[in-house]
Amino acid sequence: MSKPTSRLLVRATGLEVGYGVPVCAPISFALATGEVLAVVGVNGTGKSTLLRTVVGQLEPVRGRVEVLGTTPDDRDAAFRTDVAVDLGDDAFFPALTVREHLLMTCYGHGVADAADVAARLLEEFGLTARSEALPAALSSGQRRRLLLAAAFARPRELLVLDEPEQRLDAGMRARLTRRLVDERRHGRGVLIASHDPAVVAGAATAVLLIDEDEVRPLTPAAAAAAIESM
Ligand SMILES: Nc1ncnc2c1ncn2[C@@H]1O[C@H](COP(=O)(O)OP(=O)(O)OP(=O)(O)O)[C@@H](O)[C@H]1O
């Protein structure tokens, strides 16, 4: 079988992210299909701000970012078909069950076989026993699992996740790591902010460390070691 051609998903050039003023040094990187790029750094260095800029929720302060060749715009349906996002925002419909949230995500994004996809994700994210529960009756880790399952229910070339390991137990963090490896094997790309050395070492193909006054690349192994001492 011939190797699929790699495709550029994200290109950032001299990108400065922030709220009127930049929160960190300029960032340049390219992310292609088959890659998992992890962004690491201590609290408050700008990881979430970078992710929000890449998915079109914030304008760059300076510089450029392109996603699949265009300016990111999360109001654009085509952009939302290509880019699945979980930034950890805990937003649920109080009167829809766990299963219904996944079905609604599938319907909204035109996913075929919604019932099968939802059933598979419920199983994978350990939510089958809670599939008929309403969000208010879930534990915080179960709500986190539901957000992640909903991201994986979406069609996507690029997956953007902000600290997806938060509130997950060790078993689910290991499963998440394997899932991220699967993403790149299926020819998709992942941009992830993480504080978890095992997720970074196990899934990332490249890492950007956002430091106090510079942004620099690290190998995943070096990044995992750096996270341990943050
Ligand atoms: N809406 C906002 N308006 C102004 N400043 C903000 C806003 N959101 C975040 N900040 C500031 O921007 C800086 C970067 O925040 P950001 O959330 O990107 O950090 P982070 O690296 O993701 O941190 P953490 O590891 O704690 O999640 C911080 O100093 C933060 O206080």
Threshold 0.90, pTM exceeds: yes
Q: Is the residue at 222 inside a domain?
A: yes
User: Which of 139, 160, 142, 146 is CA-nearest to residue 118?
Assistant: 146
Could you give the 3-state DSSP secondary structure of residue 40?
strand
Q: Considering its fold, how many domains does the chain have in total?
A: 1
Q: Is the residue at 100 inside a domain?
A: no
Q: Is the residue at 16 inside a domain?
A: yes
Q: Taking a C-beta distance cutoff of 8 angstroms, is the pair 103, 177 a contact?
A: no
Residue 165 confidence (pLDDT): 96
Q: Is the residue at 139 inside a domain?
A: no
Distance 164 CA to ligand 1 centre (A): 17
Query: What are the tokens at 8?
Result: 């550029």
Residue ranges of the chain whose pLDDT lies below 50 = none
Q: Is the residue at 141 inside a domain?
A: no
Beta carbon of 217 within 6 Å of any ligand 1 atom: no
- pLDDT single digits (tens) 143-166: 999 999 999 999 999 999 999 999
Q: Is the residue at 195 inside a domain?
A: yes
Pocket test for ligand 1, best of 17, 48, 55 (most atoms within 8 A of CB): 48
Residue 116 confidence (pLDDT): 98
CATH number at residue 183: 3.40.50.300
User: Which of 3, 38, 9, 79 is CA-nearest to residue 180?
Assistant: 38
Domain encompassing residue 187: 8-93+155-229
Residue 212 confidence (pLDDT): 87
Residue 123 confidence (pLDDT): 97
Cβ-count burial 132-166 (b if 16+ within 10 Å, e if not):
ebbbeebeeebbbbbbbbbbbbbebbbbbbbbbbe
Q: Is the residue at 111 inside a domain?
A: no
Pocket test for ligand 1, best of 17, 19, 42, 163 (most atoms within 8 A of CB): 19
Residue 42 confidence (pLDDT): 96
Residue 91 confidence (pLDDT): 87
Q: Is the residue at 173 inside a domain?
A: yes
Residue 3 confidence (pLDDT): 57
